[in-house]
C-alpha cells in the first residue's frame, strides 16, 4: 500500500470527530452535525471547484455521520468523482463511500461501473485491488452482470500480480454466491483449477475457497482438482515448519490452507487413481502421527491449529469410509480427546465419534469408549457436551449393549437438563423398541420412561407401546399387570393413565383372576384418576369403562351409575357428554352378543415403520441427525411386531435426486392428524423420478446424508415379468387400492393416491406362511434411489414400502418391480408391473356441451384421435360403467352428448413438463354388446395409450 503523506491526515476530520465526542447531550450532537452538513453542502454547491483533498475530507465526514446513524442524501457524485483520482487515498475513500452508501438501484451505478472498469484495465495492482474489493463488498447482481466475465480473465492472466489474483479469486467467490447463474467459468475452468499449483501460497488459499464452492455445485467440471489438491496437501504435510516460513503459524505449516484442501477433498469420493489414493492415505497417516507427537509450543494457538487439521482429516476419513485402519486410528485418537481438559475438544470428539459409530469398520472401536461416554453424560458441566454424549451412546448402541445404555439414559433422565429431555425420551423409546428381545423388558422400560419423564413423552411413544402390546400375545398379560401396579402410585402421570386405560380396557381380563386386581378394583383404580385428567384422557377412560362392561358384566351397574351422573351426561364438553350418553344407552339396550361384537378386542396393527424415529429427526432438524439414525431407520419397522401409527403422522418427506423439484414436504397432504381410533399411513419415504426419460441425476449430497441407498443390481438376474402381469396391471387402471398379487406364499397389497403430477404409493408385502422369508428385497427396475425394505419377514407378518412418484413426461410402459426372497432355502424370484399408468395423473375438467364439442373439433388432426370398436368383456351395467369412468380420473360430463346413452369425459393429464388435454367419448351398443371408444388428446401418444388401456376395462 502506498505510504500516506503527512498532508493526508485530514485535520478538519479529526477536529469534527473530537467535537462530536465532546458533546454533552444528544441535542448538542445533532446541532453540531447539522452545522457540519450545512457547511459541506455549501462547499459542494459553491462556485469554486474543490480540490481532491477537500472532496476526500468532506466525503469522509459524511461517511462518519452516516455511521453515527444519520441519513445522508447528498455527496454521492463527489464520491464517484474521487474514483477517477490518481491518488490512492482519494480513490480509497471514494470506493469506501460507494461500498457503504450506494445501493444497486442508484442512478450512479453506471458511472461507478465505468470507473471500476477503468481501474481494472489500468494494470495498477493497487487500483485493481480497490476495484475488486468494491465489487465484492457491493456484490449485487448488477455488479455480477457487469464484471463476471472480466474477473476470471484477470484471475488466470500470467502477468497479474499475486495480490490481485487473491482479490480476484475472493471477489469471484462473492459474486458466485450471490448470482451463480451469471458466473460461468467455461473455458477458464482448467486454468482456475491449476491455481492450486501456484507458487504463491496466498493465491492458493484464496483460489481453493473459490474452487470448493464451484465443486459443490459442479463436481464433474472440477474433478481434476482432486489430484492437484492431494499433491499440494502432500507437500504441506511433509514439509518442515521452516520450509513455509511465511505461512507457518505457531510451528504448524499453512494450517488454513491444509484445512481448506481437506474440505475440498470431501466434495469427492476416494480417488480412483491408485497412486493419488496412496499419496492421500499417506498424508492422512502423517497427520494422525503428528497428533501423537509432543507439542512444539505450549501456546493455545499451536494446539488449535494442529487440532483443526486433525479434525478435518478425520472428517475426510469418515467421508471416504473405505480405510479400516484409518477409521480405527481416528477413533482411537478421538478417544484420547474424550478426557481432554479442553471442553471444545471433548465436544468435537463426541460429535465426530457419532459419525464414526455408523461405519462397520469403526463401530466396535467406538464401543470400547462406552464407559468414558457414560461418565461424560453424568459429569459434564456443559449441557451441549452432555447432549453430544447422549447422541454418541445412541449411535453406538446395538444388541450387545442396549440394556446397559438404556439403563444409563433412564438414570440420567431423572436429572437431565430440561432442554434435552424430550430428545432423550425419544432415543430411549427407539432403542428399547429396536433392540428388544425380551418384550417384558420393553414394557418395563417405556413405563419407567413415562414415570421418570412423563411430561416429555410424546403421543408417538405411548401409541407405539400400545401397538406393540396389542400385536404380541405373549406380553399382554404382563403389560396389564405392570401398568396396574404402576397406576397404584399416589402421583401418576397422565400419560401413564392413558396407557393404563387402554391396556386394562383391552386386556384387564388377563389379570382379573387375582383378587388384588379384580374387575371392580381395576375400575376403581382407573376412576380414581379420572378427575385429575384432561378432556382427551377422560374420553379415553370412558371408552375403557364401556370395554369393562363387555369384559366384566359384574361391573355394569357401577359403571352405568358413573355414566349416568350429571357430571358426565351433562358435561360442558360435547365429546365427553356424547360418549357418556351413547355408552350408557349402548350398555342398556344392546344384548350381550351385540355388545361383544361392537366392543371386541382391537385387531393387530399392520406392520409399519415407527414414527418415533421420524419425530426425533424432525426435532433435531435437517443435517443434525447422526448417520446411525438414518442407516438404522431401514431396520426400524421390523424389529418388533409393531403396527401402524395411531395419531399424527410426523414422518418427513426425504430429499430426492438433484433433478427433482422440491414441493412442500407433504406432497399429497396426507400427513394431517388422525383421531386416536384411526391408523393413518406412515410416510417415511423418498421422492422418485419414475418417468424420467433421461435417467436420474447423480445423487445429491442431501440424499446421501439422509441415508438413502442407490438401487444396486441384485446378485441374481431379475425374472421376466409374470405372464399375468398385464392382466394384474389392467385391474388397477380404474382403481387405486387392492391386492396386486397373491400366491400361496406372498400377498402384495397396494394403496395409492395421486394429485396433479405427483403420486404416493404404498406397497404391503405379507408373508402368508408360518416360515420366515430371508434376504427379502424389492427392486423397482428403473433408475431410482430407494430405501430397502426389512430383509427378514416373519411368518404371518407384513412390511411396507413407500414410493413417492413424479410424472415428468407422458409414458407408455409401466415400471417393473422385482421381488426376491428365500423361502425354506429356495430362491423365489418374481417380477410384476407396478400399476402406474398415464391416466393416474388426470385432473378432471368440467365443460359445457358447447365447450366440449368446440374443443372436440379443434382436436381434429388424424394423429390426435384414437378409436377402437370392441366387444364388451363385461356386463353393460350403467352404474358400473360410470364408476369405471370416474375411476379413470377424468370428469364424467352429464347432458353433453346428444345421445343420452353415450358417455363423455374430459380431463387434463398433468406432467412436470406439460399439460395434455384429453376428451373421451364412449358409445355403447347394448343390442350388439359392442362399444366404440374415441379419444382425442393434444398429444397423439397419449391418445393411443389411453385407448389401449380403456379397451380392456369395458
- Per the annotation, binding residues are 11-12, 43, 53, 57-61
Give the DSSP letter of residue 655. Answer: P
Residue 467, number of CB atoms within 10 A of its CB: 24
| Residues in CB range of 512: below 8 A, 6 or more apart | 518, 519, 522, 551, 552
Q: How far apart are CA 404 and CA 148, in angstroms?
A: 59
Spatial distance between the Cα atoms of 832 and 822, rounded to a whole number of angstroms: 18
Measured distance CA(293)–CA(341) in Å, rounded = 18
Exposed/middle/buried for 932, CB within 10 Å: 0-12, 13-18, 19+?
A: middle
Please, are residues 204 and 196 in contact by the beta-carbon 8 Å criterion?
A: yes
Q: Are 498 and 646 in contact (CB under 8 A)?
A: no
Element of type H or E holding 865: strand 865-871
195-230 burial code (b ≥16 CB/10 A, e <16): bbebebbbbbbbbbbbbbbbbeeebeebbebbbbbb
Q: How far is CA 107 from the centre of its chain?
A: 43
What phi and psi, each to the nearest 5 degrees, are found at residue 835? -75, 65
Check if the beta carbon of residue 314 is closer than 8 Å to that of residue 266.
no
List the one residue out of 647, 833, 663, 657 whose CA is nearest residue 732. Answer: 833
Which three three-digit cell numbers place residue 886? 370416474
> Cβ(721)–Cβ(823) under 8 Å?
no
Residues 6+ apart with CB under 8 A from 716: 820, 827, 829
| Distance of alpha carbon 334 from alpha carbon 190, whole angstroms | 38
Encode burial over 291-309: b for 16+ CB neighbours within 10 A, e otherwise: beeeeeeeeeebbbbbbbb
- What is the C-alpha to C-alpha distance for residues 25 and 206, in angstroms, rounded to an integer? 47
Compute CA distances 135 → 85, 96, 141, 623, 764, whole Å.
18, 11, 10, 33, 58
> Which residues are bridge partners to 253 per DSSP?
248
Residue with cell 350418553: 581
The grid coordinates of residue 193 equal: 483449477
952 phi and psi angles, rounded to 5 deg: -85, -10
Q: Per 3-state DSSP, what percentage of the chain is helix, strand, and coil (rounded to 5)? A: 55, 10, 35
- Integer Cα distance of 279 and 230 in angstroms: 7
Look at the block and give the residue holding cell 482456475: 192
Q: Calculate the CA 331 to chain-centre distance.
A: 28
Q: What residue has cell string 479529526?
A: 14
User: Is residue 447 a contact partner of residue 461, using CB atoms and an 8 Å limit?
Assistant: no
Q: Are 355 and 630 in contact (CB under 8 A)?
A: no
CB 129 within 8 A of CB 115: no
Q: How far, in Å, are 165, 195, 282, 940 from residue 156 at the CA level?
A: 8, 8, 31, 53
Amino acid at each position: 500500500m502506498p505510504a500516506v503523506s503527512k498532508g493526508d491526515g485530514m485535520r478538519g476530520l479529526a477536529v469534527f470527530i473530537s467535537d462530536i465526542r465532546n458533546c454533552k447531550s444528544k441535542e448538542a450532537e445533532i446541532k453540531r452535525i447539522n452545522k457540519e452538513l450545512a457547511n459541506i453542502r455549501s462547499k459542494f454547491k459553491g462556485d469554486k471547484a474543490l480540490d481532491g483533498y477537500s472532496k476526500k475530507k468532506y466525503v469522509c465526514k459524511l461517511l462518519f455521520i452516516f455511521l453515527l446513524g444519520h441519513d445522508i442524501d447528498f455527496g454521492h457524485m463527489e464520491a464517484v468523482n474521487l474514483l477517477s483520482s490518481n491518488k490512492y487515498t482519494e480513490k480509497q475513500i471514494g470506493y469506501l463511500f460507494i461500498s457503504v452508501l450506494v445501493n444497486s438501484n442508484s442512478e450512479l451505478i453506471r458511472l461507478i461501473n465505468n470507473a471500476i472498469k477503468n481501474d481494472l484495465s489500468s494494470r495498477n495492482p493497487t487500483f485493481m485491488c480497490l476495484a475488486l474489493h468494491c465489487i465484492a463488498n457491493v456484490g449485487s447482481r448488477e455488479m455480477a452482470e457487469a464484471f463476471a466475465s472480466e474477473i476470471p480473465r484477470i484471475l488466470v492472466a500470467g502477468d497479474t500480480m499475486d495480490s490481485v489474483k487473491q482479490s480476484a479469486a475472493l471477489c469471484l467467490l462473492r459474486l458466485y454466491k450471490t448470482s451463480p447463474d451469471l458466473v460461468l467459468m467455461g473455458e477458464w475452468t482448467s486454468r482456475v483449477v491449476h491455481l492450486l499449483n501456484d507458487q504463491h501460497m496466498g493465491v492458493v488459499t484464496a483460489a481453493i475457497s473459490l474452487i470448493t464452492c464451484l465443486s459443490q455445485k459442479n463436481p464433474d467440471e472440477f474433478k481434476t482438482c482432486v489430484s492437484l489438491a492431494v499433491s499440494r496437501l502432500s507437500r504441506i504435510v511433509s514439509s518442515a515448519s521452516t520450509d513455509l516460513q511465511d505461512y507457518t503459524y505457531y510451528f504448524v505449516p499453512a494450517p488454513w490452507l491444509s484445512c481448506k484442501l481437506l474440505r475440498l477433498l470431501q466434495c469427492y469420493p476416494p480417488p480412483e487413481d491408485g497412486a493419488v489414493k496412496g499419496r492421500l492415505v499417506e498424508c492422512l497417516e502423517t497427520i494422525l502421527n503428528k497428533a501423537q507427537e509432543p507439542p512444539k509450543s505450549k501456546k493455545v494457538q499451536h494446539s488449535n491449529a494442529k487440532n483443526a487439521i486433525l479434525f478435518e482429516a478425520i472428517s475426510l476419513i469418515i467421508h471416504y469410509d473405505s480405510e479400516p485402519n484409518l477409521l480405527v486410528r481416528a477413533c482411537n485418537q478421538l478417544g484420547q480427546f474424550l478426557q481432554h481438559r479442553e471442553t471444545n475438544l471433548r465436544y468435537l470428539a463426541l460429535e465426530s465419534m457419532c459419525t464414526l459409530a455408523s461405519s462397520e469398520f469403526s463401530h466396535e472401536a467406538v464401543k470400547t469408549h462406552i464407559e468414558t461416554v457414560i461418565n461424560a453424560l453424568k459429569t459434564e458441566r456443559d449441557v451441549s457436551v452432555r447432549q453430544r454424549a447422549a447422541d454418541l451412546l445412541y449411535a453406538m448402541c446395538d444388541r450387545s449393549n442396549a440394556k446397559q445404555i438404556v439403563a444409563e439414559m433412564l438414570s440420567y433422565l431423572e436429572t437431565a437438563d430440561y432442554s434435552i429431555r424430550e430428545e432423550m425420551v425419544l432415543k430411549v423409546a427407539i432403542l428399547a423398541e429396536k433392540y428388544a428381545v425380551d418384550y417384558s423388558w420393553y414394557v418395563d422400560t417405556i413405563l419407567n420412561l413415562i414415570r421418570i419423564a412423563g411430561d416429555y413423552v410424546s403421543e408417538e411413544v405411548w401409541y407405539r407401546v400400545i401397538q406393540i402390546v396389542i400385536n404380541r400375545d405373549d406380553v399382554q398379560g404382563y403389560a396389564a399387570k405392570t401398568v396396574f401396579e404402576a397406576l397404584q402410585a399416589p402421583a401418576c402421570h397422565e400419560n401413564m393413565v392413558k396407557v393404563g386405560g387402554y391396556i386394562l380396557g383391552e386386556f384387564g381380563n388377563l389379570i382379573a383372576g387375582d383378587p388384588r386386581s379384580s374387575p371392580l378394583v381395576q375400575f376403581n383404580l382407573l376412576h380414581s384418576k379420572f378427575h385429575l385428567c384432561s378432556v382427551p384422557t377422560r374420553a379415553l377412560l370412558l371408552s375403557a369403562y364401556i370395554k369393562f362392561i363387555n369384559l366384566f358384566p359384574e361391573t355394569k351397574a357401577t359403571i352405568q351409575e358413573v355414566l349416568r351422573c350429571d357430571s358426565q351426561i351433562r358435561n360442558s364438553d360435547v365429546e365427553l357428554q356424547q360418549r357418556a350418553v351413547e355408552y350408557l344407552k349402548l350398555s342398556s339396550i344392546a344384548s350381550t352378543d351385540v355388545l361383544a361384537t361392537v366392543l371386541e378386542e382391537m385387531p393387530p396393527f399392520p406392520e409399519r415403520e415407527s414414527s418415533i424415529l421420524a419425530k426425533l429427526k424432525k426435532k433435531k432438524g435437517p443435517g443434525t441427525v447422526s448417520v446411525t439414525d438414518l442407516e438404522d431407520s431401514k431396520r426400524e419397522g421390523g424389529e418388533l411386531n409393531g403396527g401402524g401409527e395411531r395419531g399424527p403422522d410426523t414422518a418427513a418427506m426425504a430429499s430426492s435426486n438433484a433433478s427433482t423439484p422440491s414441493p412442500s414436504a407433504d406432497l399429497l397432504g396426507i400427513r394431517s392428524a388422525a383421531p386416536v381410533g384411526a391408523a393413518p399411513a406412515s410416510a417415511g419415504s423418498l421422492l422418485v423420478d419414475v418417468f424420467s426419460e433421461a435417467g436420474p441425476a447423480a445423487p445429491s449430497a442431501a440424499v446421501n446424508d439422509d441415508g438413502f441407498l442407490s438401487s444396486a443390481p441384485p446378485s441374481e438376474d431379475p425374472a421376466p415379468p409374470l405372464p399375468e402381469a398385464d392382466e394384474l396391471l389392467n385391474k388397477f387402471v380404474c382403481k387405486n387400492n387392492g391386492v396386486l398379487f397373491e400366491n400361496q406364499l406372498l400377498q402384495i397389497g397396494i394403496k395409492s393416491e395421486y394429485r396433479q403430477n405427483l403420486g404416493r404409493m404404498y406397497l404391503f408385502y405379507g408373508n402368508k406362511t408360518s416360515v420366515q422369508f430371508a434376504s427379502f428385497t424389492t427392486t423397482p427396475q428403473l433408475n431410482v434411489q430407494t430405501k430397502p425394505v426389512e430383509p427378514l419377514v416373519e411368518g404371518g407378518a407384513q412390511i411396507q414400502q413407500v414410493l413417492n412418484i413424479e410424472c415428468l413426461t407422458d409414458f407408455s410402459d409401466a415400471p417393473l418391480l422385482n421381488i426376491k426372497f428365500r423361502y425354506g432355502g429356495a430362491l423365489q424370484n418374481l417380477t410384476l408391473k407396478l400399476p402406474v399408468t398415464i391416466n393416474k395423473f388426470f385432473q378432471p375438467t368440467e365443460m359445457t356441451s358447447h365447450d366440449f364439442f368446440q374443443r372436440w373439433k379443434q382436436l381434429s388432426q388424424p394423429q390426435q384421435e384414437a378409436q377402437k370398436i370392441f366387444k364388451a368383456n363385461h356386463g353393460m351395467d350403467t352404474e358400473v360403467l360410470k364408476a369405471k369412468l370416474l375411476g379413470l380420473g377424468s370428469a364424467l360430463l352429464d347432458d353433453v352428448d346428444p345421445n343420452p346413452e353415450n358417455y363423455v369425459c374430459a380431463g387434463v393429464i398433468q406432467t412436470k413438463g406439460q399439460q395434455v388435454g384429453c376428451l373421451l367419448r364412449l358409445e355403447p351398443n347394448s343390442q350388439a354388446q359392442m362399444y366404440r371408444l374415441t379419444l382425442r388428446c393434444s398429444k397423439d401418444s397419449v391418445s393411443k395409450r389411453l385407448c389401449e388401456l380403456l379397451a380392456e376395462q369395458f
